[in-house]
């Protein structure tokens, strides 16, 4: 009995140490970034882990008065949300059949989707640029959104395929016997049951798109189409370093991303809990 208690306590200690470690390594960088926005250049470089001496909002005032961050926020939001939603539907459909059905070419498709992760950005840049030019979507936020739809192909397939595989086949078969067609089985049985996976894939794609900078930088040119990460890049130029402004800009870029993500996560979790499917 005693031994069992000791073991139980040990396991508790281990669990909480693990969680505490995870929380610390995850939260430390963002705290450091926000804190640095309130320090001055010399202090960031000479005493990077000290607390700010006084609170100054000058860097925030500067970036908001010089740049149209409201506009960039709207652009980033429209691009990230639209591309994530479209991509999620597309890739969920694809992953569903890859997870649940046998068909000719199945392995090939899965392999092809996986290797997209390894296509170097440099070799993708040229064909994508040419495509967007031909579509007349250069310097247009929807051109960027279109490109972003393609970005999460491999990682979404990675996440969604096991998520659909975890939905018992017996449920599908039962539904078929009751007369459900292919689409209904997908839409009404598998999709709700794979919500956790969909949320994970969606959040990863959203955050990826929210932060993406390379394609945004080559596909847009005017101030009206600029996204948040692109604006952020202006502050990273080596010779004109001004770290408080860089970190103020960084804070302005990442905080909305995190807030949107946490809101979405709450939403999804609530609906997963209510659908009550775990039995």
Partner 1 sequence: MKLKKLLKSGLALGLCFGLAACSSGSKGAGTDAGSEQAKTENAESSQEKKAETDGKEIELKIPTYLAGENVGAVFFLPQVERFNEKYAGKYKVVVEEVVQDSYAEKIKQLAGQNKLPTLVHSPGSGGIDTQWFKQVILDNDMAYDLTEFGKENPDVAASWIEGSKDFCTVDGKLICNPLIVLRPIGLYYNESLYKPEKDIRDMSMDEFMSGLGENKLAFMTSENAWTSSLMLAALIANEDGGVDLLNNNTSEKLWDYNTPVIVNAVGKLQKLLQNNASSNTVGAAYADAANAFMSNNAALICNGSWMASEFNEDAKDKWSNGFDGKDVKTTIYPGNIALANPKAYGDFWISNAASDEQKEAAKAFLAFRSSKEEIEAFILAEGGNAPNIKHSDDFLNKLKENDILYQLDQSMNENTKFVATLGDIFPASVADTEFGKLLPKLIDNSLTPEQFCAELTKKAQEAKQ
Partner 2 sequence: MSSNRKTAASRLERKNYKWIYLFLLPSFIVFVTFYIQPIFTVFYTSFTKWDGFNKPKFIGLTNYINMFGNTAFRYSLKNLLLWSFIAAVFHVGFGVLVAFAIFKKPFGWKFTRAVFMIPNVISAAAWAMIYRFMFHDDMGMINNIIRKFNPDFHVQWFYQSPFAFIAVTLTWLFYAVIVTLIVLNDLFAIPGDLFEAARVDGASDFQLIKYIQLPLCKNAIGTSIIASITARVAMYEQIALTTAGGPGDDTMNLPVILVKSIMDLKYGYANANGVIMFILGLFILWLVNRLFKMDESVY
Size of the site for partner 2 (CB under 8 A): 102
Residue 276 interacting entry, from partner 1, partner 2, none, C-beta within 5 to 8 Å by type: none
Answer yes or no whether residue 126 interacts with partner 1 by CB under 8 A: yes
Cβ-based nearer residue to partner 2, 141 or 159: 159
Answer yes or no whether residue 200 interacts with partner 2 by CB under 8 A: yes
Answer yes or no whether residue 143 interacts with partner 2 by CB under 8 A: no
Residue 124 interacting entry, from partner 1, partner 2, none, C-beta within 5 to 8 Å by type: partner 2
Instruction: Candidates 7-15, 51-59, 67-75, 219-227: pick the segment binding partner 2 (CB under 8 A).
Output: 7-15
Cβ-based nearer residue to partner 1, 113 or 189: 113
Instruction: Candidates 55-63, 64-72, 74-82, 250-258: pick the segment binding partner 2 (CB under 8 A).
Output: 250-258
Instruction: Candidates 52-60, 64-72, 73-81, 265-273: pick the segment binding partner 2 (CB under 8 A).
Output: 265-273
Q: Which of 65, 122, 222, 240 binds partner 2 (CB under 8 A)?
A: 122
Q: How many Å is the maximal CA-CA distance in the chain?
A: 74
Binding site for partner 1 (CB under 8 A): 40-43, 45-46, 104-105, 108, 125-126, 129-131, 133-142, 146, 214, 217-218, 221-225, 230, 233-245
């Amino acid at each position: 009995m005693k031994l069992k208690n000791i073991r139980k306590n040990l396991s508790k200690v281990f669990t909480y140490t693990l969680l505490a470690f995870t929380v610390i390594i995850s939260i430390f960088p963002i705290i450091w970034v926000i804190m640095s926005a309130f320090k001055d250049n010399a202090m960031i470089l000479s005493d990077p882990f000290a607390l700010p001496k006084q609170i100054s909002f000058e860097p925030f005032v500067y970036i908001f008065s010089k740049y149209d961050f409201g506009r960039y926020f709207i652009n980033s939001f429209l691009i990230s949300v639209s591309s994530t939603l479209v991509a999620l539907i597309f890739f969920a459909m694809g992953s569903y059949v890859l997870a649940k059905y046998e068909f000719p070419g199945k392995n090939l498709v899965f392999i092809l989707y996986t290797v997209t992760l390894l296509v170097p950005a440099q070799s993708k840049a040229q064909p994508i640029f040419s495509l967007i030019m031909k579509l007349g979507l250069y310097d247009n936020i929807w051109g960027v959104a279109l490109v972003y739809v393609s970005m999460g192909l491999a990682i979404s397939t990675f996440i969604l395929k096991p998520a659909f595989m975890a939905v018992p086949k017996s449920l599908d078969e039962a539904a078929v016997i009751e007369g459900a067609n292919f689409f209904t089985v997908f839409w009404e049985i598998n999709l709700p049951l794979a919500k956790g996976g969909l949320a994970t894939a969606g959040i990863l794609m959203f955050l990826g798109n929210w932060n993406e900078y390379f394609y945004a930088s080559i596909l847009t040119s005017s101030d009206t189409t600029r996204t948040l990460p692109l604006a952020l890049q202006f502050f990273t130029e080596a010779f004109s370093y001004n770290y408080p402004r860089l970190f103020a800009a960084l804070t302005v870029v990442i905080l909305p991303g995190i807030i949107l993500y946490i809101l979405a996560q709450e939403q999804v979790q609530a609906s997963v809990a209510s659908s009550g499917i775990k039995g």
